[in-house]
């Protein structure tokens, strides 16, 4: 893997791992916010658990990585195009982190890649818009963009409704004792699922850069070295903790108890694992957010702070267009310089 190494390739890898690190602390809230808000675990212990499970989750598959590396862009692109996409995603992640907005790191990266590719080729043909019903940007990104939050909400609502019925006549103390233990399991499952889907996007980006540098071929799989460094970068970022977003996710949307925290984490993890199995790079942030909304709605609709939910939804909708424009602008500047 050493032949074909260039400064531009090294720059892409450094930026990709920086993005992965930021992704880790930006999206830490996805796995631990509900566990911390219900006081099942302290923040430090929850982060430690998430670090470990994120790492192993990142090593567990590569279907999402393959979607990014060869399912969204036709042919080869210059390395600076990938740099532009990563810079756009990093900037957007830092902005949304600063304001405590749970946005999608995944869609930020994909938006940046699409915008930069369009400006690079001066054509919309560089992007694989469709490839059957389940492929390309439409099948792998756009449809899951709307479907996965809906699935998270429905599964969260359904599971919480079922749990309310099953434990309606059980004492609150017993319920809390039981689900304080089960929530640790669900937090681990959620962290594993987050690593399994989110870390793979950066694996795909680095693999795309390696193919462009002719270090790998289009038929190559995701190298184990790439999987390992991406998993390590995400785990390291997670160890920092995204405290601003943890506050929004953990107590901002609805008041959670141990049983509802368990339901939200389990519902989101199931939805994310299903998406990973299909190779769909979904937003774990969107899925856990809507799962929390669904769980809150199972109690009563007014239990959810819908104005906050609407503000979060705006960030979801705007992420791809904004990062596409950012990626396009950065690529334009790179083209002037080369």
Per-residue pLDDT at 307 exceeds 80: no
User: How many Å apart are CA 80 and CA 124, to the nearest integer?
Assistant: 18
User: How many Å apart are CA 72 and CA 136, to the nearest integer?
Assistant: 5
Q: What is the pLDDT of residue 174?
A: 94
The predicted-structure confidence for 113-157, as pLDDT tens digits, reads as follows: 999 999 999 999 999 998 776 678 888 888 887 888 899 999 999
Q: What is the pLDDT of residue 169?
A: 93
Domain ranges of the chain: 7-337
- Please give the mean pLDDT across all residues of the chain: 85
Q: What is the pLDDT of residue 239?
A: 78
Selection from 98-112, 170-184, 305-319 with the highest mean pLDDT: 170-184
Alpha carbon separation from 45 to 51, 57, 140 (Å, rounded): 10, 18, 35
Per-residue pLDDT at 2 exceeds 50: no
User: How many Å apart are CA 204 and CA 183, to the nearest integer?
Assistant: 32
The residue with greater pLDDT, 289 or 320, is: 320
Provide mean pLDDT across the span 198-227. Answer: 86
- Torsion (CA) 214, 226, 277, 56 in degrees, nearest 10: 170
Helices (H), the chain: 7-26, 28-37, 43-58, 63-70, 79-98, 105-121, 136-137, 143-166, 172-212, 224-240, 243-247, 258-277, 284-299, 306-337
Provide mean pLDDT across the span 59-78. Answer: 85
Q: 92 by DSSP, 3-state: which? A: helix
Q: What is the pLDDT of residue 194?
A: 87
Provide mean pLDDT across the span 187-215. Answer: 89
Q: What is the pLDDT of residue 91?
A: 95
The predicted-structure confidence for 248-262, as pLDDT tens digits, reads as follows: 554 566 777 899 889
Alpha carbon separation from 102 to 31, 152, 191, 251, 308 (Å, rounded): 12, 15, 16, 13, 11
Length of the chain, in residues? 338
Provide mean pLDDT across the span 99-115. Answer: 85
User: How many Å apart are CA 91 and CA 81, to the nearest integer?
Assistant: 16
Could you tell me if 324 and 115 are in contact, meaning their C-beta atoms sit under 8 angstroms apart? Answer: yes
Q: What is the pLDDT of residue 58?
A: 87
pTM score, whole prediction? 0.85
Alpha carbon separation from 175 to 38, 146, 178, 255 (Å, rounded): 13, 34, 5, 16
Per-residue pLDDT at 1 exceeds 70: no
User: How many Å apart are CA 240 and CA 48, to the nearest integer?
Assistant: 10
Q: What is the pLDDT of residue 337?
A: 86
Provide mean pLDDT across the span 221-227. Answer: 88
Provide mean pLDDT across the span 318-325. Answer: 94
């Amino acid at each position: 893997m050493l032949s074909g190494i260039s400064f531009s390739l090294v720059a892409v890898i450094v930026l990709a791992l920086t993005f992965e690190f930021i992704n880790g602390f930006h999206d830490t809230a996805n796995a631990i916010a509900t566990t911390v808000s219900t006081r099942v675990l302290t923040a430090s212990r929850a982060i430690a658990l998430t670090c470990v499970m994120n790492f192993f989750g990142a090593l567990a598959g590569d279907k999402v990585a393959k979607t990014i590396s060869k399912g969204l862009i036709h042919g080869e692109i210059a390395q600076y195009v990938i740099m532009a996409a990563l810079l756009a995603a990093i900037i957007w992640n830092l902005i949304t982190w600063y304001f405590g907005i749970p946005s999608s790191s995944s869609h930020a990266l994909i938006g940046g890649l699409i915008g930069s590719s369009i400006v690079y080729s001066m054509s919309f043909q560089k992007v694989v818009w469709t490839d059957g019903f389940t492929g390309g940007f439409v099948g792998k990104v756009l449809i899951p963009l709307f479907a996965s939050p809906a699935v998270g909400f429905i599964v969260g609502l359904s599971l919480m409704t079922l749990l309310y019925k099953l434990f309606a006549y059980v004492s609150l103390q017993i319920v809390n004792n039981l689900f304080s233990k089960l929530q640790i399991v669900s937090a681990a499952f959620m962290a594993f699922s987050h690593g399994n889907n989110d870390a793979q996007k950066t694996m795909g980006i680095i693999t795309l850069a390696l193919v462009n540098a002719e270090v790998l071929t289009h038929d190559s799989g995701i190298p184990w070295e790439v999987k390992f460094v991406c998993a390590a970068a995400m785990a390291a970022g997670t160890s920092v903790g995204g405290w601003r977003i943890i506050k929004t996710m953990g107590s901002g949307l609805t008041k959670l108890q141990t049983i509802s925290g368990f339901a939200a984490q389990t519902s989101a993890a199931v939805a994310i694992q299903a998406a990973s199995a299909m190779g769909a790079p979904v937003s774990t942030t969107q899925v856990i957010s809507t799962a929390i909304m669904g769980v809150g709605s199972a109690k009563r609709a007014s239990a959810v702070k819908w104005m906050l939910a609407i503000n979060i939804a705006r960030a979801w909708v705007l992420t791809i267009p904004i990062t596409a424009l950012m990626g396009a602008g950065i690529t334009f500047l790179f083209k002037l310089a080369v």
